[in-house]
Structure 1
Amino acid sequence: MNEKRRKKLVPEAVKDFLSQRMQNPANIVVAAVGIGHDQLLRVVDKALGWLPTTASNKGTVDMAAQYTGGEARLDGDGLAQIAVACEAVSWSDPDLIPVAVLNTLLGGGGSFSAGGPGKGMYSRLYTSVLNQHPWVQSCTGFNHCYTDSVQNPDRLPELAEIICEEISKMGQVTRTELARAKNQTKASVFMNLESGTVTCEDLGRQILTAGQYVEPATLYTAIEKVTEKDVFRVAARLLRSRPTVVLYGEMYGAPSYEQISEAAGMKALQSGTA
């Protein structure tokens, strides 16, 4: 947060935000596990019964976010960090599950990552980046489809090249890799069910973002249906977007935006030459 915006963060601004967002029934979802419906209604009425019974549109903007891409370079000391992002899919997009499997396949983690669903020794970024280039301290694929790495600034050009190479190859998947990624994705879904807190949070998040709750069994079936062609298709779809590139740290020798776009295979796909 820059200094100008920080100065605007005064108590009145926080109270105004709360009145517009947190006291509007249209912005609130109550989720619970391990409690009867009637008992839940009594608890909710006691805690939130003072809220207005009708939703208000005050302070809301009904406008879809527009992805634009671009770059930002922020000088800093110490380790160099680079993130390369593509336009991902929405919660309601039919490609959401294949993208989730692709994210699990990429995986990654820190230099000392030992495992866990979606990361560890057998994920693509762990075996191809962390194992092959010990000077990389962290390289991770996130579920919103961007890769972030941290490294010594004097090797930033090489780091960017490595990341772009992995991005350009993310649609090339073997049958073994796909099977492992699907199993890890399914394991992550069902292992989270062991925690009532996570289950409750997931229930509320799904209702807020997608307007419905998808049962774990339905997710399992959707994950199981993902094929190698699906992964290739969604990877190509992501790479057609104008990339977003963020660099932080020492900028010495950092490649240009156009160089990163071309190295990641995005430029060719955007021009229709791939």
Structure 2
Amino acid sequence: MNLADTDTRSATSPTTALPVASVPGVEAWHVESPVVPMIALSFTFEGGAAQDPAGKAGCAQMLARLLDEGAGDLGSDAFQERLAARAIELSFHAGPDALGGSLKMLLKHADEAIDLLALALAKPRLDPDAIERVRAQVIAGLRYQQNDPGVMASRRFFKEAFHGHAYARPSSGTVESVTAITRDDLLAMHARIIGRGRIKVAAVGAINAEKLAESLTRAFGGLSEAGALKAVPRTTVQDLGKRIVVDLDVPQSVIRFGMAGVPWRDPDFIPAYVLNHILGGGAFTSRLFQEVREKRGLAYSVGTSLVSHRAAAMTWGYTATKNERVAEALSVIGDEIGRLITDGPSDEELQKAKDYLTGSYALGFDTSTKIAHQIVQIAFEDLGMDYIARRNAMVSSVTQADIRRAAGRTFADGRMLVVAAGRPTGF
């Protein structure tokens, strides 16, 4: 475990690793701030929905939802009552590559909060009645989503983009796959993921390094060594140039589109991030917002983002428009991508993007919870403790040559995989 002490008066200042008596297999970062008597903890375990058993998509997410449904000698109601009595906020979540959670508590209740976290992680009850209750909730949500064009478009996109790969499966599962999950599946998933060896932790607030080391030993020291994870092979977005319709009787089609990407750990990620801001990530200032919404009134919202998983990366976009205007909207989007491929952004456009991205970065560190979340993501990606200090300088140094190189890697020839949920005409 490495603890990094920083002064929260400057969230973007460099961090320094300090050796501390530790729990083997736990890496922790620390930001001490005595201003408010609270502590925020964020943590993540390597291994998420990509580890779901065959035919049982949704297993990792179900496990995450069940971890606070009773632990040790506390049933579900008793566990939740203990949290509520001390205003302790504890939650768990699972994504494609990780299962994690967050804990927020008043300093005076820190010991009890840590004990409850330790129980939830090491000794979840996974009682049959809790499993069936959560299963019913998940299935009800999945059935409701079958009429949601946004969800259906996204699911079909990932199914086609990563056909035959773990990322093609919906993290929340399907009605059939969630129905098939057993208690033994959940126990096996817990043994494989929830254990020492692949834990990243960030702690922010009124706690010093010595007390934090003690708390982390109590929280994670009782865990067994994590099991072996299934290998997740690298993959890329497939079927570029293909257009797919998910037939739904709605007046407006929801569109998802995507192409290649650059992973967060790649040296070209920052240039690709700046390029994405110019194309569709910059909210009101992006090219797509201006061309699709402001000039033509084709859509209320349109945008793009970079997706970086352990074994795949992509540039991913979204919009929604009237069925009869889908082809026009896609044509405009394609034209803007083409212009960036051939001409790149103007020098002024590039500078404005860099100014915004460097100026707004500190807004992601304005609360203890946000700081903890940001730091644990940086740790999970193994970007180094000095990433926060280096990040703005990397953005500022992006050149036109960097942008062209990133465009070549992400946009390539401009072909996209497109999925439209609705009844588009002329598509």
Quote the residue 1:200 is aligned against: 372
Deviations 1:209-232 (A, max 9, x none): 236334322111111110122112
Quote the residue 2:268 is aligned against: 95
Contact kept in structure 2, 1:153 and 1:251, CA below 8 Å = yes
Computing the radius of gyration over CA atoms, which structure comes out larger, 1 or 2?
2
Quote the residue 1:240 is aligned against: 412
Deviations 1:228-271 (A, max 9, x none): 221122112212387332221114321xxxxxxxxxxxxxxxxx
Distance 1:194 1:243, change over 3 A: same
Matched position secondary structure for 1:29: strand
Deviations 1:157-208 (A, max 9, x none): 1111111112222342011111111111112322212222112111111211
Distance 1:226 1:232 in 2: 11
Find out whether 1:76 has 2:248 as its counterpart. Answer: yes
Find out whether 1:24 has 2:195 as its counterpart. Answer: yes
Quote the residue 1:141 is aligned against: 304
**Which 5+ residue runs of structure 1 have no aligned equivalent?**
109-117, 255-274
1:132 aligned partner, one-letter code: K
Contact kept in structure 2, 1:190 and 1:216, CA below 8 Å = no
Quote the residue 1:165 is aligned against: 335
1:137 aligned partner, one-letter code: Y
Distance 1:55 1:166, change over 3 A: same
Q: 1:48 aligns with which of 220, 224, 248?
A: 220
1:27 aligned partner, one-letter code: R
Deviation at 1:143, TM superposition (A): 2.4
Q: CA RMSD in A?
A: 2.1
Q: 2:186 aligns with which of 14, 34, 42?
A: 14
Which gives a bigger RCO, structure 1 or 2 (Cα 8 Å, sep 6+)? Answer: 1
Deviation at 1:55, TM superposition (A): 4.1
Deviation at 1:139, TM superposition (A): 0.5
Distance 1:247 1:154, change over 3 A: same
Quote the residue 2:114 is aligned against: none
Moved over 6 A (4+): none
Distance 1:228 1:98 in 2: 9
1:130 aligned partner, one-letter code: R
Contact kept in structure 1, 2:200 and 2:380, CA below 8 Å = yes
Matched position secondary structure for 2:421: strand
Quote the residue 1:126 is aligned against: 289
Give the TM-score of the pair, scaled to structure 1. Answer: 0.79
Contact kept in structure 2, 1:76 and 1:250, CA below 8 Å = yes
Distance 2:182 2:268 in 1: 41
Contact kept in structure 2, 1:104 and 1:181, CA below 8 Å = yes
Deviation at 1:15, TM superposition (A): 3.5
Deviation at 1:12, TM superposition (A): 4.0
Contact kept in structure 2, 1:26 and 1:56, CA below 8 Å = no
Query: Which structure features the higher share of strand residues?
Result: 2
Matched position secondary structure for 2:223: coil
Give the TM-score of the pair, scaled to structure 2. Answer: 0.52
